[in-house]
Structure 1
Amino acid sequence: MLDSQIMILQFRRTVSIIAVLACWFSPSFAFAENDWSHHLNHWLNQNQITHVSIPQNRKFDEQYNFLILVWQYKTRATNDRDLYKKIHLNGWHIDYGEGKQKLAAWGAQQEWPYYVDHAAGKGILHLTPRSGLSSIPKSGAPSPRPWSFADPKTFQELTRRLDANIPPILNGPVAAIALDDEVSLGSFNSPLEVDYSPQAIAAFRKWLKSQYSSNSAWQRAWQLPAVSESAKLASAQPVTYEKVRQQLKNLPPSKWRLAPWLDFRTFMDQMQAETFAAAVQHARSHAPTVPIGVVGGQQPSAYGGFDYSLLRHSVQWMEAYDIGGTNELLRSFWADTPRRYQMQTYFASVDLARDQWFLWYYLAHGNRGVIAWPDSGGKPWFNAGKINPAVEKLSNTFAAVQADSLQVLAAPQTQPVFSPIALLYSHPSIQVGWAIDATTHGKTWPRRSSSLDNSCLSSGKNRVAWTRLLEDLGHQPRWIDSQELCAGELQNRGIKLLILPQAFALSSEECQAIKAFVKSGGAVIADYAPAITDQHGSGYLTPPLDQLFGLNRLSKSGWFDGNRRFEVDGERYRRPFAERLPQENCLLDSNMPIVERSLSGTRLEHQFGSGRTLYLNLSPTGYFDQSLRGANFGNHWRKWIGDWIAKQEIQEPVRVTREDQQEHGVELLRYRTKDQTEIWAIVANPTRQASVDGPGSGIALSSQNIPLRIGTTLPISGCRNLRTGKSLGTKFPLQLELPGSEAIVLEVTIKP
């Protein structure tokens, strides 16, 4: 039945695709086909995607400051040059590239940097109705992906477009090349069940063979009959979310068997990452010194293909919407020097303070620049020889963030300095978390749109909440992925505390690494339900970290109110965020819902070996909400986590306080330059619900200067305000005032 559905859906591909397929039989096809086969076989045989190195001798590493690249929407840099210059803009973009030699030459003449978008065209990496998107059912039924990544002909067409678009734009100051914008396996993060094409299913079966330690382990996870491995491979058929949904609602986690769904989602994430890597490698043959990546990156979720533990290796730069903490993920994953470029989309509104803050915030976080969407309040930035007044007010800010003295913040050789605190990024846990969240929708889960997912994905909100909470306590944590955990990076990087945010799905190897870390003296905090399944979504009879946390579950009485497991209720997406969280009929601690009703208590401490653990049985996800963050909810969390971290003797050498109290809502970011000078950037850090089509919401900024006290235990031999050039001497603490919508940037010299 499924095979017949697939045949019908394949037949329904649009005529426009068929027209393009005619070019597949060009003489260059054999080379491209062999090139993709090499990547595909390497990935499937080695069980590891290609790791793409950064370009050598990137010409923009030292040449340009913070970049503001204006997307050419309702503006042409060639026509509006004088208007750009009037407000201190000189960056722009070129679309595609083929036939754009004159534009690139103009950029060279002006010495105006640009990035190139859609170098791989549009319609393959970003599906459109014309390229077959409309042929994918929105009912949750399985479907082939138009332009299947498993089909060598898809890669052949990608390379043809790259060959046409890249060479013409290399004769100017090209800062970066984007394969495409808002790339996705389907459409953003919407739950489209692709790719069920014959080529993808064949590749999946080959990949599946390497994912299990034994034949019996695979058999148990997939609940397969006891037949030969070859017979199991031949019959292995992935399923859609609908096939596992009832398990999550009706069975305890120990009986969940999500592998036939989750394994395929993991396979597709890897398939997209390998496609990116292969396309980047091909593009490098034309532009070996230019970073190549993607723009319009999404938050990590079960659908869409954005597993950042993979993408960190497969592209050389990325502009990602800062939804679900993507900026902090990339800042951690790309912290080693020379850093890869990360950028943001800049949607200027008519709110001057918010627009100013955005640029200062992301400069302070080490972004290489922004891609500006030149429309504010529905009005273009440039029109009929005039500048939009709301944008003209930003002129001084544009100049300030691009100042020569601040180039050090965006410089790839400047390295972030993190606290000895790590948070675990576990993509299988994000997938399981999505599966739990989607149970609120019942059979209507296929209508869980990407925009709803962006505002209601529990794992994304939980990730931001943990980050903001630690920042408010004066820490700068780093994210590590599962591969780093198992490779001993906690010990190598001097980590003292590991936090497990909604770490539902952990492998036995990850659990062993966590136990070894604590046994040797490390500390671990979990919010709730760590390692209830393995990385395939198969429930553990006894979760392997229960012993670590000293847990003894007395019954199987469920989570929250006893009937729901999801934390953020996506059915209430129109209501304020706090009203989407569980409250009614829940057991409470300090007016917060207890998660596992079967456990006797909350904030459970336990000694394990030489280390200690803290099992909260509470969730900080509400800390995402700005109103809860500043109220008793936030006060409780800052005290609980702050006191416990202090007990582990973790203290920061630099602190920002206000009237001798840690100032929440302001963070201090430290960087170390190649000559060991430190840069300290101090900026407001309100919660922001980002969006893919606007500036977002929830940004609360002080309208007045914030008096701050900067204290340190480091031996300081000099301190200078980089924005003013003024020497601040060596006497600490410093008394400074932070403009609510700007940043303080200090250059600090530390005695050897």
Structure 2
Amino acid sequence: MNPLKTLVFVSTGILFFPTPSFGQKKSDPYENYIQNSKDFKPVKQEKDLAYQAFPGWLFMPWTAQWHIGYNEQSAAWCREQGYNGAFIDRSDIAAEGSPTGRLDWINKNRFRFYVDHAADKGLLHLWDGDRVKPYLNDLHGTGVRTVPLNETTRKKLQEHLRRNITAVKSSAFRAAYALDDESSWGHFVHPTMWQITDDKNAYANWLKEIYGPASPKRDRWISYEEIRPQLARWKIQDFDASPLMDQWTFNDAYWSNYLGDLVEYANKLDPHTPCGIVGGQAPSAFGGYDYARLMRKVQFLESYNLGSSQAIIRSFNPHNALPAVTTLFHKSSEDDIWQTWYYLAHGNRGHIAWVEGWFDGKTPKAWHKEVAPTFKEAGEKIGPLMAGSEWIHDGVAIYYSHPSIQLGWILDAEAHGKTWVNRNGDERLASASHVRHAWENMLRDSGIQYSYINYVDVIQKGIPREFKVLILPACLCLSDGEARRIKEFCRDGGTVIADYLPGLWDQHGKGRTHGVLDDLFGVNHPGNLTARDLFGGKLWVEVDQDANFSWKTYQEFLTNQNHCLRDSSGFNKAVRSLPVNQVKSLESGKAILMNLSTQWYNAYRVAGVESARKREIFMKPIAASGVVPRVRLKETGDEVHGYEITYWNKKMEDGKNRTMLFLCFNPEITGTSLGGGNSQGLKTATLPVTFQFRDEIRGLTDERTGKQYPAGREFPFPWKQNEAVVVSFASEP
């Protein structure tokens, strides 16, 4: 019998894939930029440092409404509940740089803590709530950020860091420094048109770096309003969103470098503690949330689970070295328990918990006792067991193209007309977000795990050979270098699957006369395509997002005032005149252009298991590539519909490898730019389920109960659906 194959990463002490050889000149200016620019050089990211800071699972209450004080009784209560972490805010550190009594309480009780707003608030994060209203004209205008990021601002930020880090670095229990909460070069990911810095030469110099000697001369900063009216008359070959997209990319680049410099300054003050940001947002055209850049510039990250951000962060953290956490907002005990198991199963290292409504006066509410066993099990048992483990995918990669996210926003926002300035909650509306979400759930519902790969790594190193399948989700914008790497992957035996319009624009948002991958897929996307030739024949995109701004269900979102051409498969056609499911062989590989959007799967999945079977048109080429689930549940039907299984490789103290497996429930997840990650439609029943493994498994152990099983392929377990079944087994025969 063949053993279950396990992908084992060899730890190099560095978070990302091997660093490219910077300094190697390329003839293509964009490739040369990606290969050599400071924009993509990572800060120090050491696995040992990260695990010293986060040795297991930390539950860190953000104690803004903490009514029980910092004394022996409150510490004992924290331990009883499994609250094994803490936080210190910049307001807890006196002006002269001495910490308040909270640090003594933390040290005495050995709670690992992070420092929030270590670089203060109001510089990297500008306004809370309604305080932004007087500045909306600035946000939407083409001037300079109200607090420009320059040397003056840098010195202020460094002084805050110096004071706050000096105040706490004597503690042996510091886990991380957060520069700021919900930091952004604008305001969260609100549509923002301004320039990030008042350095008059910065943008021009950056354009020379990214374009080479033929860089465009841009003598002014523009707004989306200069692009929007042209969308209705542009053909793809006439399309030129580069003046706007280049501005956003420059802001992202300047921002990520600025954060990286602050992280390195924090490391000089305290080289033993990770530094990063908290309150991270969805991938977006605004605010600095190009995760291919951001993940290279931080050592610690708390991000809300919006727009696939958690899966993207996990994927760009291949050794699971960078400590990633998310925020827990209490909605119910069942949801708290589910969040703990779900985020453990996906590689997170803890929760920052928003303390609101936790107490009646000084009396903790009853629900704390309901969730305490889960929090303690995560902190004392499963969290430490997961330390050092590394994600296992099934050979499927999803492509992360940030220029496509930018262009997607430009196309999506057309429906709003001049009211685009009011577009918030982009992760609820964006085509790119919904398409990614559907791909993820089609894979997980089929028993397949995946990782994202990004445009930077692909240009620098190509597509890793550990992948059999590459999925291009709404990858509208691709550079020539990316296209070459994708074709190399296919030629070497990989399967490439695109949903719609792959590479019809370049990385700057300039339209092409033909798609850069048309020869790969054996199709012709003529450059004279217009919005009338796509989807509903009115907008460039599938959904009128203005008419559906406040949608409640996926069914409503996809049908209200939308008139797309629905294929017999049940999914909307992209180019109305082209066929669907085009397959072409290239040497030993295959390329499939679906010419379909995946968005309808979001509605089909909610409707139940039978409706969700419509995903098979997208899953068949993946199965044909040789990707087979490692394990499935023997049970089928609506009772178990929505389950997910994740896998991690763990090198044990005896030098042998074990696979850690989590069975958890994967419901819809809700949240806003202010936080979230709560479940929607959570199931809580206890069901008897049976794992059916592809290969014989040896040494299987239930890590929650300690029960051991003889070798076999089928193993029965009781599963409470808002908890997780956690087992491990030998990775070698």
TM-score normalised by the shorter chain: which range applies?
A: 0.7 to 0.9
**Residue correspondence of structure 1 range 563-574 to structure 2 within 5 A:** 563-571=538-546, 572-574=548-550
- Corresponding position: 1:273 with 2:256: yes
- Corresponding position: 1:459 with 2:432: yes
Equivalent residue, structure 2, for 1:324: 307
Equivalent residue, structure 1, for 2:247: 264
1:607 deviation in Å? 1.9
CA distance in 1, matches of 2:634, 2:123: 50
Greater RCO between the two (CA within 8 Å, min separation 6)? 2
1:687 to 652, 668, 688: 668
CA distance in 1, matches of 2:46, 2:269: 12
Equivalent residue, structure 2, for 1:747: 728
CA distance in 2, matches of 1:273, 1:546: 34
Count of paired positions: 681
CA separation of 1:56 and 1:694: change in aligned 2, threshold 3 A: closer
CA distance in 1, matches of 2:132, 2:197: 14
CA separation of 1:438 and 1:236: change in aligned 2, threshold 3 A: same
1:275 deviation in Å? 0.9
Counting aligned pairs with the same residue, the percent is: 30
1:473 deviation in Å? 0.8
CA separation of 1:654 and 1:139: change in aligned 2, threshold 3 A: closer
CA distance in 1, matches of 2:54, 2:210: 45
After superposition, give the CA deviation of every residue in 1:587-641 in whole Å (9 maximum; x if it has no partner).
Answer: 221374533344332122222232112211111123334754626552111x223
Letter paired with 1:417: I
CA distance in 2, matches of 1:148, 1:333: 29
Query: Structure 2 length as normaliser, TM-score?
Result: 0.88
**Residue correspondence of structure 1 range 1-400 to structure 2 within 5 A:** 46=37, 48-55=39-46, 57-58=48-49, 60-61=51-52, 64-75=55-66, 78-79=70-71, 80-96=74-90, 97=93, 98-100=97-99, 102-128=101-127, 134-135=134-135, 137=137, 140-149=140-149, 151-172=150-171, 173-195=173-195, 198-199=198-199, 201-213=200-212, 215=214, 218=215, 232=217, 235-336=218-319, 339-349=321-331, 351-375=332-356, 380-400=357-377
- Corresponding position: 1:678 with 2:651: no
Give the conservation status (yes or no) of the 8 Å contact 2:345–2:646.
yes
Give the conservation status (yes or no) of the 8 Å contact 1:498–1:525.
yes
Where does the alignment leave 5 or more consecutive residues of structure 1 unmatched? 1-41, 220-231
- Corresponding position: 1:524 with 2:524: no
Give the conservation status (yes or no) of the 8 Å contact 1:436–1:565.
yes
Letter paired with 1:153: T
CA distance in 2, matches of 1:205, 1:143: 16
CA distance in 1, matches of 2:342, 2:147: 38
Letter paired with 2:447: G
Equivalent residue, structure 1, for 2:628: 651
Equivalent residue, structure 2, for 1:665: 642
CA distance in 1, matches of 2:525, 2:35: 40
CA distance in 1, matches of 2:131, 2:168: 26
CA distance in 2, matches of 1:284, 1:464: 36
- Corresponding position: 1:559 with 2:534: yes
1:716 deviation in Å? 3.0
1:485 deviation in Å? 1.7
**What is the SS of the residue equivalent to 2:88?**
strand
CA RMSD of superposed structures (Å): 2.6
Letter paired with 2:719: L
Letter paired with 1:189: V
CA separation of 1:585 and 1:716: change in aligned 2, threshold 3 A: closer
Give the conservation status (yes or no) of the 8 Å contact 2:195–2:221.
no
Letter paired with 1:386: T
CA distance in 2, matches of 1:99, 1:134: 36
CA separation of 1:550 and 1:214: change in aligned 2, threshold 3 A: farther
Mean Cα deviation higher: 650-659 or 513-522: 650-659
**What is the SS of the residue equivalent to 2:82?**
coil
Give the conservation status (yes or no) of the 8 Å contact 2:474–2:500.
yes
- Corresponding position: 1:427 with 2:421: no
CA separation of 1:43 and 1:175: change in aligned 2, threshold 3 A: same
2:446 to 448, 473, 485: 473
1:374 deviation in Å? 1.4
CA distance in 2, matches of 1:187, 1:62: 30
Mean Cα deviation higher: 529-538 or 457-466: 457-466
CA separation of 1:49 and 1:516: change in aligned 2, threshold 3 A: closer
CA separation of 1:286 and 1:467: change in aligned 2, threshold 3 A: same
CA separation of 1:720 and 1:278: change in aligned 2, threshold 3 A: same
Give the conservation status (yes or no) of the 8 Å contact 2:569–2:614.
no
**What is the SS of the residue equivalent to 2:195?**
coil
CA separation of 1:481 and 1:562: change in aligned 2, threshold 3 A: same
**What is the SS of the residue equivalent to 1:525?**
strand
1:65 deviation in Å? 2.8
CA separation of 1:553 and 1:429: change in aligned 2, threshold 3 A: closer
1:138 deviation in Å? 5.8
- Corresponding position: 1:533 with 2:505: yes
Give the conservation status (yes or no) of the 8 Å contact 1:59–1:289.
no
After superposition, give the CA deviation of every residue in 1:252-303 in whole Å (9 maximum; x if it has no partner).
Answer: 2221111110001000001110111000000011221111110000001111
Query: Structure 1 length as normaliser, TM-score?
Result: 0.86
Equivalent residue, structure 2, for 1:634: 612
Equivalent residue, structure 2, for 1:546: 518
Give the conservation status (yes or no) of the 8 Å contact 1:425–1:479.
yes
Give the conservation status (yes or no) of the 8 Å contact 1:551–1:599.
no
Letter paired with 1:518: C
Where does the alignment leave 5 or more consecutive residues of structure 2 unmatched? 1-32
CA distance in 2, matches of 1:164, 1:671: 40
After superposition, give the CA deviation of every residue in 1:388-422 in whole Å (9 maximum; x if it has no partner).
Answer: 1233321222222223254222x1x2111111110
CA distance in 1, matches of 2:639, 2:369: 36
Give the conservation status (yes or no) of the 8 Å contact 1:133–1:146.
no
CA separation of 1:63 and 1:291: change in aligned 2, threshold 3 A: closer
Give the conservation status (yes or no) of the 8 Å contact 1:91–1:112.
yes
After superposition, give the CA deviation of every residue in 1:19-51 in whole Å (9 maximum; x if it has no partner).
Answer: xxxxxxxxxxxxxxxxxxxxxxx9999453441
CA separation of 1:585 and 1:62: change in aligned 2, threshold 3 A: closer
CA distance in 1, matches of 2:141, 2:118: 32
CA distance in 2, matches of 1:696, 1:101: 32
CA separation of 1:334 and 1:265: change in aligned 2, threshold 3 A: same
After superposition, give the CA deviation of every residue in 1:163-197 in whole Å (9 maximum; x if it has no partner).
Answer: 11111112321111101000011110001212265
CA distance in 1, matches of 2:605, 2:576: 30
Equivalent residue, structure 1, for 2:14: none
Give the conservation status (yes or no) of the 8 Å contact 1:553–1:599.
no
Give the conservation status (yes or no) of the 8 Å contact 1:101–1:169.
no
CA distance in 2, matches of 1:455, 1:400: 34
CA distance in 2, matches of 1:443, 1:131: 23
Give the conservation status (yes or no) of the 8 Å contact 1:667–1:684.
yes
CA separation of 1:460 and 1:521: change in aligned 2, threshold 3 A: same
After superposition, give the CA deviation of every residue in 1:522-560 in whole Å (9 maximum; x if it has no partner).
Answer: 111111111011000000111111121111358844211
Equivalent residue, structure 2, for 1:513: 485
CA distance in 2, matches of 1:68, 1:494: 34
CA separation of 1:399 and 1:47: change in aligned 2, threshold 3 A: closer
